[in-house]
């Protein structure tokens, strides 16, 4: 029910928001992160995301194709910075592999625990198993492979047969991603302290 005759100025907004300085796409991602992690992915409508981002549902489709694209991009955002950093560490052969592995673990835990929403919690959605999220799985697989290469370059890891190396990699990667399940239990603890302790634990898993 709109007043006829009048002309709107600018992008129509269902809800007025203070100017966040974000692009519309970034506003949509922020809104989706909040709603997916608090209400749940399936229970969140594209309309709710659009409204939280201060725009109408129809306008949203100028910026994203829908809910799945938002979820895929949020998931990739939990992995891509770690992968970029892992590649830099892999290329740096001036430092011991143990030291570089420790730094990757620490950085990865800080990334997983440090955001304002527990995006890692979205990893286990059944929807994420579908083909639409192949990009996320590929990037996550590359990150795991970077862990494997760094572990293989350590003194203990270099002595392992392939299947033992794979197992060791899964355990270290499981420890790191496991922080998604535990860090909520003590939200007052310093993330950097927790990240350092997790990295120490990862190195203990690798060594024997």
For a copy of itself, the binding residues in 118-177 under the rule CB under 8 A are: 118, 121-127, 144, 166-168, 170-171, 173-177
Distance CA 107, CA 129 (A): 26
Cβ distance 148 to 166 under 8 Å? yes
Shorter beta-carbon distance to a copy of itself: residue 55 or 206: 206
* SS3 labels along 73-139: HHHHHCCHHHHHHHHHHHHCCCCCHHHHHHHHHHHHHHHHHHCCCCHHHHHHCHHHHCHHHHHHHHH
Q: How far apart are CB 53 and a copy of itself at their closest, in Å?
A: 19
Residue 179 makes contact with a copy of itself by CB under 8 A: yes
Shorter beta-carbon distance to a copy of itself: residue 29 or 179: 179
Q: How far apart are CB 147 and a copy of itself at their closest, in Å?
A: 11
Shorter beta-carbon distance to a copy of itself: residue 68 or 177: 177
Which of these, 204, 144, 150, 153, lies nearest to 177 by C-alpha position? 144
Which span (23-31, 53-61, 75-83, 183-191) binds a copy of itself, by CB under 8 A? 183-191
Check residue 54 and give left, alpha or beta (phi > 0: left; psi -120 to 50: alpha).
left
Q: How far apart are CB 32 and a copy of itself at their closest, in Å?
A: 13
Look-up: residue for tokens 């009048």?
A: 6
**The length of the chain, given as a count of residues:** 208
For a copy of itself, the binding residues in 80-99 under the rule CB under 8 A are: none
For a copy of itself, the binding residues (CB under 8 A) are: 37-43, 118, 121-127, 144, 166-168, 170-171, 173-182, 185-186, 189, 193-194, 197-198, 201, 204-205, 207-208
């Amino acid at each position: 029910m709109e007043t006829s005759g009048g002309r709107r100025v600018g992008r129509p907004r269902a809800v007025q928001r203070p100017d966040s300085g974000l692009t519309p796409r970034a506003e949509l991602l922020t809104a989706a992160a909040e709603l997916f992690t608090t209400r749940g992915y399936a229970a969140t409508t594209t309309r709710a995301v659009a409204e939280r981002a201060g725009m109408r549902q129809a306008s949203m489709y100028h910026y994203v194709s829908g809910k799945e694209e938002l979820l895929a991009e949020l998931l990739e955002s939990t992995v891509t910075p770690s992968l970029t950093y892992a590649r830099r560490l892999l290329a740096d052969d001036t430092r011991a592999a143990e030291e570089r592995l420790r730094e990757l673990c620490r950085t990865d835990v800080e990334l997983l625990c440090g955001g304002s929403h527990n995006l890692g919690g979205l990893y286990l959605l059944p929807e994420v198993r579908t083909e639409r999220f192949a990009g996320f799985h590929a990037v996550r697989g590359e990150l795991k492979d970077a862990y494997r290469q760094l572990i293989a370059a350590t003194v203990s890891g270099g002595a392992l047969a392939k299947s033992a190396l794979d197992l060791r990699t899964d355990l270290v990667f499981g420890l790191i991603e496991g922080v998604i399940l535990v860090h909520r239990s003590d939200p007052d603890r310093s993330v950097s302290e927790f990240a350092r302790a997790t990295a120490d634990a990862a190195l203990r898993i690798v060594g024997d």
